[in-house]
Amino acid sequence: MSTSVKLVTVLALAVAVGLATAVSPFASSSPDGLERVAHDKAFLDRSELHAVQEDAPAPGYAFPGIRDARVATGVAGFAGTLVVFALGFGMAALLRRREGPAAAR
Amino acid sequence: MHIPDGFLSADVAAATGVVAVAAVGYGLHRANRTLDERQVPLLGVTAAFVFAAQMLNFPVAGGTSGHFLGAALATILLGPWLACLVLAVVLVVQAFMFADGGVTALGANIFCMGVVGALGSGLMLRAGRTVLPPRRTPFIGLCGVTAWLAVVVSAAVASVLLAISGTVPLATVLPAMVGVHVFIGIGEAAITVAAVAAVLAVRPDLVAAAEHLEDEPASAPAAGEALS
């Protein structure tokens, strides 16, 4: 008997939520590859924030209103992972459903 | 490797935006015809995992970090076109919810990390399938190499976009970007291999790129088509 898709999904989602919530606060805060190159090659100061992003709910992966930086990152990771899951699942479910009547393959 | 606004010229942002929209549009079209029941939760959870793993910056040489990109993993699990959708969902949420990666540069980011990473991974997996024996161990090795290559190629393409934009000369940015992503790609390969091995262990039929593998003696027969 193989593991059901539902169980695989729940387990994998738990791993993702766990990583984003509990591990991401301890991730490296050094600049990533592109940021490092932009700094070293002197074009980092061209970077700008789009007007839309000034109202972003959690800029820089810091959930607002939480003073502890690690907790703010963990909560942002928790919320972001669930939002991404919901969008991905919802999009796939909509695409799947539309095919409904012709699904006799 | 999220390109912020301000790094790209309007032309480059527009051109990559068109390609990104076309790729996502084609991905949606394909999904509409071919998405099977099992892939609905799998697509959601792959996107969630890619997002989560992208938050885990790991240190590479000299005060620099790298993070997972996920195009290769998504392609291995879902195929290249659904992988484009996965990366697009992740990048849209990152740009609008977390101000990570630009808004006018969103198309370029979907292009570099999604379209190039996913379609490149798809080609690599297809090439590997023709030369490697249909066994699990060489397949997992192929997944690792594909993941590494996807990151390096995405970095090279991002460099070209920055150079075409007039932000930095290609001879300056290309060696620097490729030089650091050669190391970041090792982390990408490790995470990809671990995730693929985990899914193969429980439900090999959920790994789209592993369809051709013969059943391992140790595992229960899983492939529906072999029974029919």
ipTM for the predicted complex:
0.91
Q: Is residue A41 part of a domain?
A: no
Q: Is residue A38 part of a domain?
A: no
Q: How far is B191 from chain A (nearest CA, A)?
A: 12
- Nearest chain A residue (CA) to B175: A37
pLDDT band at A90 (very low <50, low <70, confident <90, very high): very high
Looking at residue B228, what is its pLDDT?
43
Contact of B184 with B68, CB cutoff 8 Å: no
Q: CB–CB of A85 and B42 under 8 A?
A: no
- Closest in B5, B57, B95 to A32, CB measured: B57
Q: Is residue A46 part of a domain?
A: no
Alpha-carbon span B131 to B8, nearest angstrom: 39
From chain B, the residues in CB contact with A55 under 8 A are none
- Closest in A6, A46, A81 to B51, CB measured: A81
Alpha-carbon span B116 to B58, nearest angstrom: 23
Level-2 CATH architecture, domain B10-214: Orthogonal Bundle (1.10)
Q: Is residue A79 part of a domain?
A: yes
From chain A, the residues in CB contact with B172 under 8 A are 41
Q: CB–CB of B41 and A58 under 8 A?
A: no
Count of structural domains within chain A: 1
- Nearest chain A residue (CA) to B98: A59
Alpha-carbon span A92 to A86, nearest angstrom: 10
10 Å CB burial of residue B214 (0-12, 13-18, 19+) is: exposed
Q: Is the pTM value of this prediction over 0.90?
A: yes
Would you kindly state where each structural domain of chain B is located, as residue ranges?
10-214
Alpha-carbon span B27 to B110, nearest angstrom: 13
Contact of B101 with B2, CB cutoff 8 Å: yes
Q: What is the pLDDT along chain B (228 residues), one digit of tens a residue?
A: 999 999 999 999 999 999 999 999 999 999 988 898 889 999 999 999 999 999 999 999 889 999 999 999 999 999 999 999 999 999 999 999 999 999 999 999 999 999 999 999 999 999 999 999 999 999 999 999 999 999 999 999 999 999 999 999 999 999 999 999 999 999 999 999 999 999 999 999 999 999 999 876 554 455 544 444
Contact of B90 with B47, CB cutoff 8 Å: yes
Q: What is the dihedral of CA B156, B70, B75, B81, to 10 degrees?
A: -80
